Amino acid sequence: MGSVLKVAQAAKDAKTAMNKLSTIEKNKILEAMAQGLLNHTEFILKQNMLDVEAAKEKGRTSALIDRLALTKARIQDMAQGLRDVAALADPVGEIIHGTKRPNGLMITKKRVPLGVVGIIYEARPNVTADAIGLCLKTSNAVVLKGGSEAIHSNSAVADVMVQAGEVAGLPKGAVGLIRDVSRSAVTEMMKLNDLIDVLIPRGGAGLIQSVVQNATVPVIETGTGNCHIYVDDSADLNMAAQITVNAKTTRPAVCNAAESLLVHADVAAGFLPKVFADLKKEGVEIRGCEVSQKYGAIPATQEDYETEFLDYIISVKVVRDVDEAIAHINKYSTGHSEAIITNDYKNAERFKDEVDSAAVYVNASTRFTDGFEFGFGAEIGISTQKLHARGPMGLEELTTVKYVIDGDGQIR
């Protein structure tokens, strides 16, 4: 593992060998990788601490440091994620559709790997494990390019998994980590059309837009999460407060955290004082409209309503009704995850039908938009685009299709 070209070429060379692996062989490798993570927990934690200390010295936010930091529990979760992926059905080779034409041709549509998947991501070392596991199960080779802030952590996780995997039968070169942390390495990776079949960026808005705008390799856009919660006039206000605090504060630096709170005008006086007090206890800065400022919010700008904060900050707006809430969300949302808290069936159905996002919730936290929570074992990212994949990207989203045609001499 090392230079961009070397890693990508090795991945391409391993494509055929990856495609030959049986489900049993892939699951054996996944189990070996999971056990490798557990066996080398202390080594991974020591390497991770180098990244965490560097982030603290640079004055990074507590939310970013939380994304970066590993614990024994988080490494155990990474290992369990690999085992969960192993337990899932293998999509590769699945026959999606078959038909016999009048001329006798048998046309079969089957699921096949994408090939070489390139993943560019930021400060979450668990992405390294998730990406390797999902790509392995779908018989894809993978080229990883993590952020400089997590280079020690990503290197440790990748090295442990590759070493354990190769002992269990992982083809050499099938998993590669680019250790060059320069911007030029990312630029080079984005142009390797002959070696990489698809790129998946995972991180903040700047990273994603840079890849989308500059890559010549096809891109599956995983989205930033300017996620909203709308509290309707019929909502259970205690439930609404609990969901809001959960969605904003459990892990504010992840893409499914709530960034904006919309509240029906008829319940603002009864709801905002309580939820503001709860949010402030957790250290959240509240930026709001004129009405919400009466209850302790500081003035919000239009930019605040457009922003994925990834921090202990939330924007708030009091709206007239569900129509204004839906219009606001469709204007400012990044198409990730939105929630309505309501006991009005018609408003719930309208919200589900009219909000144009990948995941739409009724009376639940946006924090559930996650491959683990959706039963996918893990995820490669949350896609907010509409082509090929949308929402949490699990195993099926890492495959494409092939048509196989069997004949007995037909000509046209």
| pLDDT of the chain, 412 residues: tens digit per residue | 458 999 999 999 999 999 999 999 999 999 999 999 999 999 999 999 999 999 999 998 887 898 899 999 999 999 999 999 999 999 999 999 999 999 999 999 999 999 999 999 987 899 999 999 999 999 999 999 999 999 999 999 999 999 999 999 999 999 999 999 888 999 999 999 999 999 999 877 788 888 989 999 999 888 789 999 999 999 999 999 999 999 999 999 888 999 999 999 999 999 999 999 999 999 999 999 999 999 999 999 999 999 999 999 999 999 999 999 999 999 999 999 999 999 999 999 999 999 999 999 999 999 999 887 988 877 788 888 887 888 888 899 999 999 999 999 999 9
**Whole-prediction pTM:** 0.83
CATH 3.90.105.10 assigned to 4-222+380-406: no
Residue 182 to residues 114, 146, 191, 289, Cα–Cα distance (Å)? 27, 11, 15, 41
* CA–CA gap between residue 299 and residue 87 (Å, rounded): 50
The pLDDT, as a whole number, for residue 205 is 76
CATH of domain 227-368: 3.40.309.10
Q: E-strand spans in 178-320?
A: 198-202, 227-231, 258-264, 285-288, 298-299, 313-319
Task: Report the candidate in 240, 130, 219 with the shortest Cα–Cα distance to residue 175.
Answer: 130
The pLDDT, as a whole number, for residue 16 is 94
Q: Could you check whether 4-222+380-406 and 227-368 share the same CATH topology?
A: no
Show me where the domains of the chain are located: 4-222+380-406, 227-368
Tokens of 349: 């159905």
The pLDDT, as a whole number, for residue 2 is 57
8 Å CB contact between 98 and 109 = yes
* CA–CA gap between residue 132 and residue 130 (Å, rounded): 6
